């Protein structure tokens, strides 16, 4: 009699434990609790049966039944805590908390400045073209009238890929490529990456330029100045003054370096412009007849101008930055300002 009872108590305990552990929701667990531990559950029934046992076996059987019930109750408690830990109940969810904003990407300030420069020239009538970053010596130097011993060909400045291939040191090869492709009128701007063996506060081994070229009949130096004045007004502020200083580039004759009135002091002189009142922004000039010879343009029939500007330099002047390396350090605190 008593051994049967004890066996039954153990079975109820193990079924109860299994049911509690298998419950996947609080509702399921509660149903199992009622079935086993409830006032009319299986353990309650067991206790009733205990009353019918003979007096002499009752203490031992009772002890056994209590132990089984206590064990099942412990399993129930553990299952309940586990469910509460894992579950998101209504109390633990505060729907009034602000959401977490995703951090969206944005265009890099150099890409934005390049696009802005191109948009200004597009509005003036120029087309936008792109060309290879790995160039031949021919397009990067030879067809641009660089004599073989010109310092710009020096190993110091140029990354060579092979004897004849190099990373373009400027976007000027696009002048030759554009003129080869079509006859005048040619109105192009060519943005892109350029490379030089140079690295300090104002030089980066990879930087960006926008090249410009306009060739047609009767184009003069006055047209160059007009276009660049218009560009400076759009890029900086409407009354930005520019000045042209005589300079030298192998592929332009005459050549000029172009300055804008200092964006900080307006020309009075300050730390940014080294008290000169002017900031250099680009190189330019009238296309050299020697370059026309490489693309079979007749210099008696056509004339034109070219210019090349540094995107980093324009961005630094526009936003008052003093270290070119900031652009490439991927510091979101810096980049997110723009
Ligand atoms: N390619 C020159 C450089 O990187 C810049 C330049 C000067 C471009 C004069 C031109 C130009 O088109 O006419 O230093």
Average confidence (pLDDT) over 250-278 = 91
Distance from residue 240's CA to the centre of ligand 1 (Å): 22
Residue 198 and residue 267 in one domain? yes
Question: Using CA atoms, how far apart are residues 306 and 258, in angstroms rounded to an integer?
Answer: 12
Q: Is residue 101 part of a domain?
A: no
Distance from residue 304's CA to the centre of ligand 1 (Å): 14
Question: Using CA atoms, how far apart are residues 45 and 100, in angstroms rounded to an integer?
Answer: 54
Residue 151 and residue 67 in one domain? no
Q: Is residue 100 part of a domain?
A: no
Residue 76 CB–ligand 1 contact under 6 Å: no
Average confidence (pLDDT) over 249-267 = 92
Cis bond upstream, residue 185 (ω within 30): yes
Count of CA atoms in the C-beta half-sphere (13 A) of 330: 1
Identify the domain boundary among 60, 90, 120.
90
Q: Is residue 160 part of a domain?
A: yes
Residue 278 and residue 323 in one domain? yes
What are the pLDDT digits (tens) for 161-178?
Answer: 998 999 999 999 999 999
Residue 156 and residue 34 in one domain? no
Distance from residue 248's CA to the centre of ligand 1 (Å): 10
Q: Is residue 59 part of a domain?
A: yes
In this structure, the strands spanning 134-136 and 165-167 are antiparallel
Question: Using CA atoms, how far apart are residues 332 and 134, in angstroms rounded to an integer?
Answer: 30
Q: Is residue 306 part of a domain?
A: yes
What are the pLDDT digits (tens) for 134-165?
Answer: 999 999 999 999 988 777 677 568 999 998 99
Distance from residue 238's CA to the centre of ligand 1 (Å): 25
Residue 255 and residue 211 in one domain? yes
Residue 284 CB–ligand 1 contact under 6 Å: yes
Is residue 304 within 8 Å of residue 184, measured between CB atoms? yes
Residue 120 and residue 147 in one domain? yes
The residue segments making up the domain with residue 128 are 109-335
Residue 186 and residue 147 in one domain? yes
- Closest-CA residue, ligand 1 atom 7, reads 283
Distance from residue 310's CA to the centre of ligand 1 (Å): 9
Residues 6+ apart with CB under 8 A from 321: 315
Atom of ligand 1 nearest to the CA of 169: 4
Residue 192 CB–ligand 1 contact under 6 Å: no
Q: Is residue 102 part of a domain?
A: no
Identify the domain boundary among 90, 118, 139.
90
Number of domains making up the chain: 2
Is residue 250 within 8 Å of residue 145, measured between CB atoms? yes
Crossing angle of the two packed helices 2-22 and 42-51, in degrees rounded to 10: 170
Helix, strand, or coil (residue 188)? strand
Give the residue carrying structure tokens 């007096």.
55
Percentage with pLDDT > 70 across the chain: 97
Among residues 284, 291, 332, 336, the alpha carbon closest in space to that of 310 is found at 284
pLDDT at position 82 over 60: yes
Q: Is residue 98 part of a domain?
A: no
State the pTM of this model: 0.71
What are the pLDDT digits (tens) for 207-221?
Answer: 999 999 999 999 999
Position 136 scores a pLDDT of 97
Residue 249 CB–ligand 1 contact under 6 Å: yes
Residue 21, number of CB atoms within 10 A of its CB: 14
- Closest-CA residue, ligand 1 atom 4, reads 170
Q: Is residue 256 part of a domain?
A: yes
pLDDT at position 265 over 80: yes
What pLDDT band is residue 127 in, cutting at 50, 70 and 90? very high
Residue 210 and residue 315 in one domain? yes
Residue 85 and residue 143 in one domain? no
The CA-CA-CA angle for residues 286, 263, 270, to 5°, reads: 110
Residues 6+ apart with CB under 8 A from 79: 20, 21, 23, 29
Crossing angle of the two packed helices 26-37 and 58-86, in degrees rounded to 10: 170
Position 89 scores a pLDDT of 60
Distance from residue 320's CA to the centre of ligand 1 (Å): 24
- 79 or 87, higher pLDDT: 79
Identify the CATH number of the domain in which residue 330 sits: 3.30.930.10
The CA-CA-CA angle for residues 101, 105, 109, to 5°, reads: 135
Residue 186 and residue 297 in one domain? yes
Position 103 scores a pLDDT of 83
What are the pLDDT digits (tens) for 273-326?
Answer: 889 999 899 999 999 999 999 999 999 999 999 999 999 999 999 988 888 889
Test site for ligand 1: of 172, 186, 206, most ligand atoms within 8 A of the Cβ: 172
Residue 57 and residue 198 in one domain? no
Average pLDDT, the chain: 92
Identify the domain boundary among 57, 90, 123.
90
Residue 16 and residue 127 in one domain? no
Average confidence (pLDDT) over 76-98 = 81
Helix, strand, or coil (residue 217)? coil
Question: Using CA atoms, how far apart are residues 38 and 41, in angstroms rounded to an integer?
Answer: 5
């Amino acid at each position: 009699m008593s051994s049967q009872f004890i066996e039954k108590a153990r079975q109820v305990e193990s079924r109860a434990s299994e049911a509690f552990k298998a419950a996947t929701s609080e509702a399921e667990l509660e149903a199992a609790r009622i079935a086993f531990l409830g006032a009319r559950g299986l353990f309650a029934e067991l206790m009733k049966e205990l009353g019918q046992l003979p007096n002499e076996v009752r203490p031992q059987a009772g002890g056994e039944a209590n132990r089984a019930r206590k064990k099942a109750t412990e399993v129930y408690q553990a299952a309940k805590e586990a469910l509460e830990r894992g579950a998101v109940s209504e109390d633990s969810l505060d729907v009034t908390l602000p959401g977490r904003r995703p951090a969206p990407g944005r265009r890099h300030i150099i890409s934005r400045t390049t696009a802005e420069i191109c948009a200004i020239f597009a509005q003036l009538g120029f087309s936008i073209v792109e060309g290879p970053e790995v160039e031949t010596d021919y397009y990067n130097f030879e067809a641009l009238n660089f004599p073989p011993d010109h310092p710009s060909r020096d190993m110091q400045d140029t990354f060579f890929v092979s004897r004849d291939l190099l990373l373009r040191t400027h976007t000027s090869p696009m002048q030759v490529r554009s003129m080869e492709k079509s006859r005048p009128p040619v109105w192009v701007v060519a943005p892109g990456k350029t490379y030089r063996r140079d690295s300090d506060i104002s030089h980066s081994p990879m930087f960006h330029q926008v090249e410009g070229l306009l060739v047609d009949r009767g184009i003069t130096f006055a047209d160059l100045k007009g276009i660049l004045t218009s560009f400076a007004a759009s890029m900086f502020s409407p009354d930005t003054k520019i000045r042209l200083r005589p300079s030298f580039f192998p592929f332009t004759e005459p050549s000029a370096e172009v300055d804008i009135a200092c964006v900080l002091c307006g020309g009075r002189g300050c730390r940014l412009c080294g008290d000169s009142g002017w900031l250099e922004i680009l190189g330019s000039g009238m296309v050299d007849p020697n370059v026309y010879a490489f693309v079979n343009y007749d210099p008696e029939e056509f004339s034109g101008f070219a210019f090349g500007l540094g995107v980093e330099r324009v961005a630094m002047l526009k936003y008052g930055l003093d270290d070119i390396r900031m652009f490439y350090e991927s510091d979101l605190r810096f980049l997110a300002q723009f």
